[in-house]
């Protein structure tokens, strides 16, 4: 069993498997990144002429009071900096393209994996937390990649080159300068642990905040009905307080981390200034040699600061890598992987099918056959397993025992996604989204014109009410179709199902939002079709199921053929 995503296990700072997963999205970009790294390293060569020119200024041009030479040297240094900036922008542009391509591939992979997860896996996911993680953590990885590729790696190469240059310029001052590097490393390691701890806490707090906002937006009516406004505001305020605390701590630790590195690199510069000044006063080196060394040391300190500040972003990104890898590593995928696409005729059968949800048995050795153009009804109490049969037909689950067939082809061989395109389903609580009526009806259907939509709407008894709306088929219906009545929502769902001309139509409690007359008219409309679909009705309403060719009762997991009593017939009339 997969661990729920909201349960965190203890984990080390570095997860090799998670990083291998992330690095995979840079496949094919290695040469591009290597070239950028080589060019970044070569950029350090632009520093050498600058240092030589600075040394020449103080050792030759200034003592000789050669103004023209000073101006020419200034222009030369500016040209070198201009070229260096142009190369840096070019490299940055390449890196941004590489990073955004990798993050695009990561996001695409996560979306594809979500669709491959089984329905059981989705029921275990905390959707609001998962939403926050996919959106926020992928953006953090984009920032981390930029810190790693555009700042850390180039700074490392340039720093190494500068160390060689400084060693060549004056080995004594260089050794004094690097004597502080161990302290810099220790401070970076200590503050890095604090950053990791606070980043993790802040990320979890932000997920709770995002989840809370989605809850408010989606359940505002429930909150008002239950007069729970004060309770909900209090709960969300507590989440905001936690986010304020954790984010404040994280920002402060970032500042501590940056300032610790800045103090130590600044101390290094002060020591070089003092010791270098003494060596100049003792005439061990010229002023030009010292100034050029000091300028190079300033460059190095700047790149070291870039490295240390990048570490904080990389730590934050590391947490996101582990989090997203945990999501991607979910093993519970869709139960059927067949590739056989069949022109479904409407034959569908259960053969000795048993099913259970974890430790709860639902279906026990049931068999059922549906035939083209037939009308079959299933009745049973709530929780008997009627909806589970629908989920099995759609391939959301596979049986614990037994097998399903579509046109006598086992489900294990069938391309279930292709089969679903030939099945229409209208659940008792239809799924609608914020958009227009036309967008909701045509969702998932390609190359649909309005004439086909109108025809399907007439069959579903929806065309009349749609045309009376202010914008007709272009009318917005609000989130979950909140601007429509229950019956109107049901009719839209029926239209969407019929638009695809299904070979099997499943109606789950059709009279929940439609009256008997409307359902009767719908069934009559379907009977008049030349290519009328097989219909599976799940209902408590005897007036509806009495019109079926066959009726079955599902109780305690057993499916048995149902024989109408006289009282049933009278109620149906």
Tell me the pLDDT tens digit for each residue of 135-155: 888 888 888 898 888 888 888
Residue for token pair 């222009």: 75
- Report CA dihedral (283, 284, 289, 294) to the nearest 10 degrees: -100
Mean pLDDT of 411-439: 90
The Cα–Cα gap between 394 and 414 comes to 12
Q: What per-residue confidence (pLDDT) applies to 474?
A: 92
Q: Which helix (H) or strand (E) holds 250?
A: helix 229-281
pLDDT at 573 over 60: no
Higher pLDDT, 261 or 278: 278
> Residues 58-70: pLDDT tens digits?
888 888 888 888 8
Higher pLDDT, 504 or 544: 504
- For residues 243 and 285, the answer to whether their CB atoms sit within 8 Å is no
pLDDT at 182 over 50: yes
Of 83, 38, 21, 119, residue with least CA distance to 390: 119
Q: Give me the sheet containing 360-370, strands edge to edge.
A: 360-370, 348-357, 401-406, 409-410
The Cα–Cα gap between 311 and 143 comes to 12
The pTM assigned to this predicted structure is 0.76
Of 284, 55, 46, residue with least CA distance to 173: 284
The Cα–Cα gap between 303 and 160 comes to 10
The Cα–Cα gap between 380 and 386 comes to 7
Output b/e per residue, 328-357; b: 16+ Cβ within 10 A: bebebebbbebeeebebbbbbbbeebebbe
Q: What per-residue confidence (pLDDT) applies to 568?
A: 52
Q: How confident is the model at residue 398 (pLDDT cuts 50, 70, 90)?
A: very high
Of 101, 117, 111, 112, residue with least CA distance to 131: 111
> How far is residue 69 CA from its own chain's centroid?
59
The Cα–Cα gap between 510 and 429 comes to 10
> How far is residue 531 CA from its own chain's centroid?
41
Higher pLDDT, 453 or 186: 453
Q: What are phi and psi of 545, to 5 degrees?
A: -70, -20
pLDDT at 566 over 60: no
Domain residue ranges in the chain = 16-328, 348-572
Q: What per-residue confidence (pLDDT) applies to 226?
A: 66
- For residues 390 and 564, the answer to whether their CB atoms sit within 8 Å is no
- CB atoms inside a 10 Å sphere around CB 244: 12
Q: How confident is the model at residue 221 (pLDDT cuts 50, 70, 90)?
A: low
Q: What per-residue confidence (pLDDT) applies to 342?
A: 94
List, in sequence order, every beta strand (DSSP E) within 205-359: 348-357
The Cα–Cα gap between 334 and 121 comes to 9
Q: What per-residue confidence (pLDDT) applies to 186?
A: 78
H helix and E strand count, the chain: 23, 10
Task: List the CATH code of the domain at 348-572.
Answer: 3.40.50.300
Angstrom CA distances, 223 to 67, 102, 214, 342, 480, stand at 78, 41, 13, 47, 17
Mean pLDDT of 475-493: 88
Q: What per-residue confidence (pLDDT) applies to 222?
A: 65
Give yes or no on whether 16-328 and 348-572 have one common fold: no
> Residues 497-529: pLDDT tens digits?
999 899 999 998 877 777 778 888 888 888 888
3-state secondary structure string across 460-510: CCCHHHHHCCCCHHHCECCHHHCCCCHHHHHHHHHHHHHHCCCCEEEEECH
Q: What per-residue confidence (pLDDT) applies to 8?
A: 43
Q: What per-residue confidence (pLDDT) applies to 503?
A: 94
End-to-end CA distance of the chain: 50
Tell which CATH architecture fits domain 16-328. Answer: Up-down Bundle (1.20)
The token duo for 542 is: 């005897």
User: For strand 401-406 and strand 409-410, is the pairing parallel, antiparallel, or unpaired?
Assistant: antiparallel
The Cα–Cα gap between 334 and 164 comes to 57
The Cα–Cα gap between 279 and 258 comes to 31
Mean pLDDT of 100-120: 87
The Cα–Cα gap between 233 and 237 comes to 6
Which region among 78-87, 289-298, 510-519 has the lowest average model confidence (pLDDT)?
510-519
Q: Which of 171-185, 462-476, 506-520 has the highest mean pLDDT?
A: 462-476
Output b/e per residue, 49-60; b: 16+ Cβ within 10 A: ebbebbbbbbbe
The token duo for 483 is: 């601007």
The Cα–Cα gap between 436 and 57 comes to 72
Higher pLDDT, 180 or 473: 473
């Amino acid at each position: 069993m997969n661990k729920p995503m909201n349960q965190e296990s203890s984990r080390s700072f570095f997860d090799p498997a998670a990083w291998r997963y992330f690095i995979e999205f840079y496949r094919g970009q290695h040469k591009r990144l290597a070239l950028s790294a080589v060019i970044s390293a070569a950029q350090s060569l632009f520093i050498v002429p600058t240092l030589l020119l600075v040394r020449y200024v103080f050792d030759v041009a200034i003592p000789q009071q050669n103004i023209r030479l000073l101006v020419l040297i200034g222009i030369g240094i500016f040209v070198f900096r201009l070229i260096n900036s142009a190369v840096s922008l070019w490299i940055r542009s390449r890196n941004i393209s590489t990073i955004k391509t990798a993050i695009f591939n990561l996001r695409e992979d996560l979306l594809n994996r979500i669709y491959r997860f089984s329905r059981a896996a989705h029921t275990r996911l905390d959707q609001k937390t998962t939403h926050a993680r996919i959106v926020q953590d992928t953006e953090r990885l984009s920032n981390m990649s930029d810190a790693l590729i555009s700042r850390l790696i180039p700074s490392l190469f340039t720093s190494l080159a500068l160390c060689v240059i400084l060693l060549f310029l004056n080995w004594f001052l260089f050794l004094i300068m690097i004597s502080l590097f161990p302290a810099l490393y220790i401070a970076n390691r200590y503050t890095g642990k604090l950053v990791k701890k606070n980043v993790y806490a802040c990320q979890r707090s932000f997920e709770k905040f995002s989840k809370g906002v989605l809850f408010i937006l989606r359940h505002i009516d429930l909150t008002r009905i239950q007069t729970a406004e004060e309770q909900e505001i209090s709960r969300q305020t507590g989440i905001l307080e936690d986010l304020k605390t954790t984010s404040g701590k994280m920002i402060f630790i970032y500042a501590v981390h940056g300032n610790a590195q800045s103090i130590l690199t600044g101390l290094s510069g002060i020591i070089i200034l003092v010791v270098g000044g003494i060596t100049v006063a003792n005439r061990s080196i010229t002023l030009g040699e010292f100034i050029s060394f000091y300028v190079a040391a300033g460059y190095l300190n700047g790149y070291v600061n870039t490295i240390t500040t990048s570490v904080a972003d990389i730590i934050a990104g590391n947490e996101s890598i582990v989090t997203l890898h945990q999501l991607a590593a979910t093993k519970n995928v869709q139960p059927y992987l067949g590739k056989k696409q069949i022109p479904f005729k409407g034959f569908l059968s259960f053969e000795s099918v048993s099913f259970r949800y974890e430790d709860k048995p639902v279906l026990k050795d049931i068999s059922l056959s549906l035939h083209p153009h037939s009308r079959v009804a299933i009745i049973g109490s709530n929780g008997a397993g009627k909806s589970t049969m629908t989920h099995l037909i759609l391939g959301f689950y596979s049986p614990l025992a037994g097998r399903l067939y579509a046109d006598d082809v086992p489900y294990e061989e069938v391309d279930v996604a292709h089969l679903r395109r030939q099945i229409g389903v209208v659940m008792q609580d239809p799924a609608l989204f914020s958009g227009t009526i036309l967008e909701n009806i045509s969702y998932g259907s390609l190359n649909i014109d309005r004439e086909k939509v109108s025809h399907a709407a007439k069959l579903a008894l929806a065309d009349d009410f749609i045309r009376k709306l202010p914008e007709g088929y272009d009318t917005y219906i609000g989130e979950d179709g909140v601007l429509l009545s229950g019956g109107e929502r049901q009719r839209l769902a029926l239209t969407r199902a019929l638009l695809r001309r299904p070979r099997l139509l499943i109606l789950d409690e059709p009279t929940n939002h439609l009256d008997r007359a409307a359902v009767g008219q719908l069934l009559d409309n379907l009977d008049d079709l030349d290519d009328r679909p097989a219909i599976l009705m799940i209902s408590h309403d005897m007036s509806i199921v009495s019109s079926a060719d066959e009726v079955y009762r599902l109780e305690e997991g057993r499916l048995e053929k149902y024989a109408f009593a006289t009282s049933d017939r009278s109620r149906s009339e």
